[in-house]
Structures are given as structure tokens and as C-alpha cells.
């Protein structure tokens, strides 16, 4: 007897997929574990509006009653934003939560799993997880990168967080044969910093050509995704030198406080935000929205390509 994964599409998402209209998957972890209420709910609605502005239908994903819900209603977003204690569910945790009939907020990794199961080829997030600083000894590598090699979903993002080792992150993506395409810049961006200082392997500003690259990648038999980066807008970007200084101070504090493992990322992000007077948190919100709009544009271009070549 085979086991099937229960997937519940919202009416809007179900109709869009049936009509072959573009859809962009979104994670729900930013609602439950990002900003405080009510800013988290407001930002989630702004992110969905940005996807629509880009020409696509948003599908924010969560886990509830042991099912993957693809497309959260306004009431769903309000509940997840205001209720405490909703667990973060990564791809490692997904089968356990589903089998137990539980609920949770999806991360990048689990959203990639859900998006592929739901038939959505595009996903948008402000930033990827990556290889952590000191990973040579800790082996701390985000499951986002692992899942990218397994799920046929294109990820539109503003690179990866600057608290990571971005040079090793890029090396990992190269080793795993994940194409990285920079849109609108020559460099791999660093979340709320316009540049990581690392040149992207490919720059393509033509959205229709990017759609063809994604289709060609999958036509060649590759099992994983494609990373499409877009930098933060000039008015939203944080100076890399300011961010790096704050990160270095936060790393010293984390070592002093004995913070390691899964708690380190959140600790560092909060410490950097305090050090920059809230500047990075504001940039985080802005990048979520601007990236979602580009994600909507990319998904729309891919839908056009598929329609023209069907």
C-alpha cells in the first residue's frame, strides 16, 4: 500500500494551476519566526501583493492538520502570525509532522519539497541558507542547499545571508551542479547587502532567457533546482562594511554566550539588528517584498515559455 501526501490547494491556487497560470510558492516561517505581530502579518500580505504585481499568483505554504496547505487565506495568515508556539518545519521534520497530523511553518527547504509536490516550479525567498562560517569543523550546512539538489523548483532570492560563509556557499552550489544566475547585477548578493563581493557565474537580465535556462536545465535531466538572484533595491541595501563589522562583533558575543547550532542564526540576526539600530530588520522586510515581485515576473516568464513550447 502506497502512502500519499495530503495536499490542500486554496481555490485560487488550484484554479491558477489548472489554467496553467504562473504561481509562486512562499514560505510561512517568515510569518511565525520572523517579525513580531502585527508586522509579520502585514509583511506577509505585502509579499503576496508583490507576487501579484509581478504577474503571478502567490501560494504561501504551511502545514496544518497533517496536510500541506498550498495557499494561505488572510485568516490563515492572521492565525499563524498571532499564535505563538507554531514550530518551524524543515524538510527533515516534514514527514514526522505530517504523519502525526500536526501543523507548522515551512522553511525554504520544506517549501521546496511542498512546491514540487504541488506542481509549482517557482519559489521566492529573501535569502537562502548556506554554509556557515567555521563549517570546516562544525559541518554546519543549511538543509536549503541540500534540498536545492533534490527538488525541481527554481528559487528566486537575494542571495544568502551575510552571516554565512558565502564563498563556501558558492563552492557548494558549484559542486552540486546548481546553476546560479544573477539578474540585475554582476555579483552574488548577500541578502540585504547588494553584493557579497563574489562575482556570479552568469548574469542574465532577460527574463525570457532565464525561463529558457530553467527549462533547459530540467530538460537535461537534472533533478534539482536553479538559483536566480536579484539584489536589494539601492534604497533598501545595507552597507556591506557596516554589516560585516556588526556580524564579527555578534560572532564574538555568540562564542562568549555559548550559542551554537540551530540557535546561532537567529542569535546573530538579532545581534546585528541591534548593532545597526534596526536597519537590517527594515532591510529584511524590504527585500522580502522586492524579491517576491521579481519572483512573480520570473514565474510569469516561465509560464509564457511553457505555453509557447507546449
Q: Could you list the active site residues? A: 27, 161
Degrees to nearest 5, angle at CA 58 with 115 and 104: 55
- Phi, psi dihedral angles at 200 (to 5 degrees): -70, 150
137 C-beta neighbours (distance < 10 Å), count: 6
SS3 of 56, please?
A: coil
Cα within 13 Å of Cα(51), Cβ side: 29
- List beta partners, residue 67: 64
Tell me the torsion sign for CA atoms 26, 92, 211, 158. Answer: positive
Using CA atoms, how far apart are residues 77 and 90, in angstroms rounded to an integer?
19
SS3 of 229, please?
A: strand
For the chain, the residue count is 310
SS3 of 177, please?
A: coil
SS3 of 182, please?
A: strand
Amino acid at each position: 500500500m502506497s502512502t500519499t501526501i495530503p495536499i490542500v490547494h486554496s481555490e485560487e491556487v488550484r484554479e491558477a494551476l489548472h489554467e496553467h497560470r504562473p504561481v509562486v510558492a512562499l514560505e510561512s516561517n517568515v510569518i511565525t519566526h520572523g517579525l513580531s505581530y502585527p508586522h509579520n502579518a502585514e509583511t506577509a500580505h505585502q509579499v503576496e501583493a508583490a507576487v501579484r504585481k509581478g504577474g503571478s499568483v502567490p501560494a504561501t505554504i504551511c502545514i496544518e492538520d497533517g496536510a500541506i496547505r498550498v495557499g494561505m487565506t488572510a485568516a490563515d495568515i492572521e492565525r499563524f502570525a498571532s499564535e505563538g508556539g507554531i514550530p518551524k518545519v524543515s524538510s527533515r521534520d516534514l514527514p514526522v509532522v505530517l504523519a502525526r497530523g500536526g501543523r507548522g511553518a515551512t522553511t525554504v527547504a520544506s517549501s521546496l519539497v511542498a512546491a514540487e509536490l504541488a506542481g509549482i516550479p517557482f519559489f521566492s525567498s529573501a535569502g537562502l541558507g548556506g554554509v556557515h562560517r567555521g563549517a570546516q569543523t562544525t559541518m554546519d550546512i543549511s538543509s536549503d542547499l541540500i534540498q536545492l539538489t533534490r527538488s525541481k523548483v527554481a528559487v528566486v532570492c537575494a542571495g544568502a545571508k551575510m552571516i554565512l560563509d558565502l564563498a563556501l556557499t558558492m563552492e557548494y552550489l558549484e559542486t552540486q551542479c546548481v546553476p546560479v544566475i544573477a539578474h540585475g547585477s554582476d555579483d552574488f548578493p548577500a541578502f540585504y547587502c547588494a553584493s557579497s563581493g563574489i562575482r556570479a557565474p552568469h548574469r542574465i537580465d532577460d527574463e525570457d532567457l532565464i525561463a529558457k535556462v530553467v527549462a533547459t536545465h530540467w530538460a537535461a535531466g537534472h533533478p534539482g533546482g536553479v538559483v536566480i538572484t536579484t539584489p536589494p533595491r539601492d534604497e533598501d541595501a545595507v552597507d556591506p562594511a557596516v554589516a560585516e563589522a556588526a556580524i564579527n562583533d555578534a560572532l564574538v558575543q555568540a562564542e562568549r554566550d555559548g550559542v551554537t547550532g540551530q540557535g546561532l542564526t537567529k542569535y546573530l540576526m538579532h545581534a546585528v539588528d541591534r548593532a545597526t539600530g534596526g536597519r537590517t530588520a527594515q532591510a529584511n522586510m524590504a527585500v522580502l517584498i522586492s524579491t517576491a515581485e521579481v519572483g512573480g515576473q520570473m514565474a510569469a516568464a516561465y509560464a509564457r515559455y511553457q505555453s509557447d513550447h507546449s
